[in-house]
Structure 1
Amino acid sequence: MRLLHTMLRVNNLDESLKFYCDQLGMKLLRKHDFPGGEFTLAFVGYGDEKDNAVIELTWNWGTSKYEIGTAYGHVALGVDDIYQTCADLKQKGVNVVREPGPMKHGTTPIAFIEDPNGYKIELIQQK
């Protein structure tokens, strides 16, 4: 077994693709409209699906707002230089909701950003 993807429902697919692809540097791996079901699936990631876990962005046509809920935590991304990454993302208009620094009760530098839908994404400094 291996992890294939994580699915996130999005309010605006174009806005979400801009965030994940243009701002975070992921690639749009595939996208398919399902007119009968009135939804679109777009898969984004840093590498081919056969070798990497990816994110599935699901846009349900006619739906423009979701409740994230209290059970959702975050998606985590490893970065080489968390301070420079956050500075670069801010320049691209990304909302940094927790500035980089050591995690509470630990030493690993982390930060949190937010996607256009309000989903939190943790950035973790890789050693």
Structure 2
Amino acid sequence: MDVAHVALWVSEMDRAVEFYTELGLERQWSFTLDGVENVYVGGDHGELQLRHDPDRTTPIAPNRADVDHVALTVDDTEAMVERATEQGATVVTAPTVIEPADAYVAFVEDPEGYVLEFVEPLESSD
């Protein structure tokens, strides 16, 4: 079994697609069903499904109490934080080593309010 995708509601599809593709994810495919636009961005190991309903009447309000974060593997955590902030993200936790995870990580909040974790695996000396 593998994780196929995680679906995130967005208030502005163009902004969301631009943000994630500028980070390095690729636009994979899209469709509209019952008026809801769905765009998939990702890579070889999974995708984010960005969903936009132009008729939605409730605000999109991501809350870390419900969805803490979405983790993305990266080659360079610091460069990705810089890239993300240039695209409108804000830093939640600056790059730091998490020894139990053997990783260098940072957390940013995307323009919609979702928290992303950038995970750079550390070289193991085993």
**CA–CA distance in structure 2, aligned partners of residues 28 and 95 of structure 1:** 23
**CA–CA distance in structure 1, aligned partners of residues 68 and 74 of structure 2:** 19
The count of residues paired between Structure 1 and Structure 2 equals 120
1:107 Cα deviation (Å)?
Answer: 6.8
Matching residue within 58, 68, 73 for 1:73: 68
**CA–CA distance in structure 1, aligned partners of residues 70 and 120 of structure 2:** 14
**CA–CA distance in structure 1, aligned partners of residues 42 and 108 of structure 2:** 17
Q: Is residue 96 from structure 1 mapped to residue 95 from structure 2 by the alignment?
A: no
Query: 1:6 maps to what in 2?
Result: 6
List alignment gaps of at least 5 residues for structure 1: none
Greater shift after overlay, 97-106 or 57-66? 97-106
Identity of aligned residues (%): 26
Counterpart mapping for 1:5-24 below 5 A: 5-22=5-22, 24=23
Greater shift after overlay, 92-101 or 105-114? 105-114
Counterpart mapping for 1:1-127 below 5 A: 1-22=1-22, 24-34=23-33, 37-47=34-44, 52-63=45-56, 65-69=59-63, 70-103=65-98, 108-127=103-122
Amino acid at match of 1:39: V
Amino acid at match of 1:32: F
**CA–CA distance in structure 2, aligned partners of residues 7 and 121 of structure 1:** 14
CA contact (8 A) 2:61 2:113 kept: no
1:73 Cα deviation (Å)?
Answer: 1.1
**CA–CA distance in structure 2, aligned partners of residues 32 and 77 of structure 1:** 24
Amino acid at match of 1:40: E
1:6 Cα deviation (Å)?
Answer: 0.6
- Measured against aligned partners, the alpha-carbon deviations of 1:38-76 in whole angstroms (never above 9, x if no partner) come to 2111111023xxxx2111111112237213242211110
**SS of equivalent to 1:72:** coil
Amino acid at match of 2:28: L
